[in-house]
């Protein structure tokens, strides 16, 4: 059994063509992706409703989690561990690039322990850090160096 079939089986999902193709798009990406991105990658093979339903079933079964971008767009990322159905364990830092608008899961970044007042119980939280991703930061730094070397020659 291949990795896609195993993931679907592990999460109690039947292997269908839309699920297989959409999961393949997730496995080829290192960042959170939007419905629009998936639709573009798959072309006209599947309609918007099929993609939405597939994303919803993936999220319900704990295969992916939803990340809201600063602009309000929903993106989705594979869960790093098997999340129980309807109980995601995706409490990690998300990073949104202000330049290219890519969203990344930073599962290795330590997050503070949250203490809520007595009588409150939190179900989940979202911690979004905004800045420049590695690629955009590298490009920006290269442009600054190039500009400063030109200014030094003048």
For the chain, which domains are there?
Answer: 3-153 (1.10.10.10)
- Asked whether residue 24 carries a pLDDT value surpassing 70, the answer given is yes
92 falls in which pLDDT band (50, 70, 90)? confident
pLDDT at 129 over 80: yes
DSSP 12: T
User: What is the pTM assigned to this prediction?
Assistant: 0.78
Nearest partner of 63 among 4, 8, 2, judged by Cα: 8
C-alpha 143/C-alpha 19 separation (Å) is 42
What is the reported pLDDT for 17?
Answer: 95
Cα 27 to chain centroid distance, Å, stands at 11
pLDDT at residue 88 greater than cutoff 70: no
pLDDT, mean over the chain: 87
- Is pLDDT above 90 for 39? yes
Categorize the per-residue pLDDT at 79 as very low, low, confident or very high, splitting at 50, 70 and 90.
Answer: confident
């Amino acid at each position: 059994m291949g990795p896609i079939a195993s993931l679907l089986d592990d999460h109690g999902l039947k292997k269908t063509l839309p699920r297989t193709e959409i999961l393949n798009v997730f496995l080829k990406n290192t960042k959170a992706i939007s419905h629009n991105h998936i639709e573009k990658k798959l072309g006209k093979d599947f309609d918007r409703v099929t993609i939405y339903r597939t994303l919803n079933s993936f999220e319900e079964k704990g295969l992916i989690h939803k990340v809201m971008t600063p602009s309000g767009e929903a993106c989705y990322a594979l869960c790093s561990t098997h999340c129980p159905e309807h109980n995601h364990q995706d409490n990690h830092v998300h990073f949104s690039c202000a330049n290219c608008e890519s969203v990344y899961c930073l599962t290795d970044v330590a997050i503070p322990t949250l203490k809520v007042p007595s009588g409150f119980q939190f179900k989940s939280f979202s911690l979004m850090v905004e800045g420049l991703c590695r690629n955009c930061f590298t490009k920006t730094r290269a442009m600054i160096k190039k500009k400063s070397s030109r200014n030094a020659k003048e």
